[in-house]
Amino acid sequence: MAYQIHEDDHAPIRPARGERRWMNDAEGRFPYRCLPLVMANQYGWEILSTHHVRASWDGTSKPDGVYVENLSGDGELHCHSHFGEGVVTFQIPFLFQTPEGWNLMVRGPTNSPKDGIVALDGIIETDWSHATFTMNWRFTRACTVEFTLGEPICLFFPIQRGALESFRGEFRMLESDPEFERKFRDWSQSRDRFLWALDKGKPHAVAQAWQKEYLRAARDKKSIAHPFLNEKPWIERERTNGDHNGSP
């Protein structure tokens, strides 16, 4: 649940998208052949920037070492310098609540490198916390960066508290599981044969271009995360008060 704190202060939230500009620009869009990459791109929800801002860092540790300039956008400016140390802070205009035992993993958009600045990750215990959180990015060098209007500045998804602690890693030789080993050997030999044929320019391999066995479990391209039920929560409030003319 995302509670909007102020009626006139909002930021768009959407299911994370599978596409990336650098993947689109790659020759033959080959990065999309990597299913784990595409699935990770879509894992969670994105909060979008409400303004086009330019941020500059002079390399010093004080808060005024970061200068933020609003280039376009209406409403409350969420981006500013607060912590110092080359950190750019985005205020998130929501208070999130999750079921008991569930946290929110909060980070930058996946597989979206940004030159000169990197997103900082955080885990928020949103099942009990009554405080908002900020999304923070840290400069990697003294430079100037821009966040455009509508650019994803935050990604979040739920993680179950205690799940990681319940796992215990164990090392074994692959031969200790004959069936698992057989499946791996079959795959490995098939891949070796295909790569050999591709290297030799064999027509069947060139026509196929890449193997697709690992796509069998994810043939549809629907988003992993569902859209939020309502884009503007005050509409639901108006309905509760007897106004049924609002758009969903």
Show the low-confidence residues of the chain (pLDDT under 50): 217, 219-220, 233-248
pLDDT score for 166 = 93
Structure confidence at residue 228 (pLDDT): 74
Do residues 172 and 181 make contact, with C-beta atoms less than 8 angstroms apart?
A: no
Q: How many CA atoms lie within 13 A of 108 on its CB side?
A: 15
pLDDT of residue 236: 45
Distance of alpha carbon 104 from alpha carbon 157, whole angstroms:
6
Q: How far apart are CA 88 and CA 80, in angstroms?
A: 6
pTM: 0.83
Query: What is the structure's pLDDT at 229?
Result: 66
pLDDT value of position 111 = 97
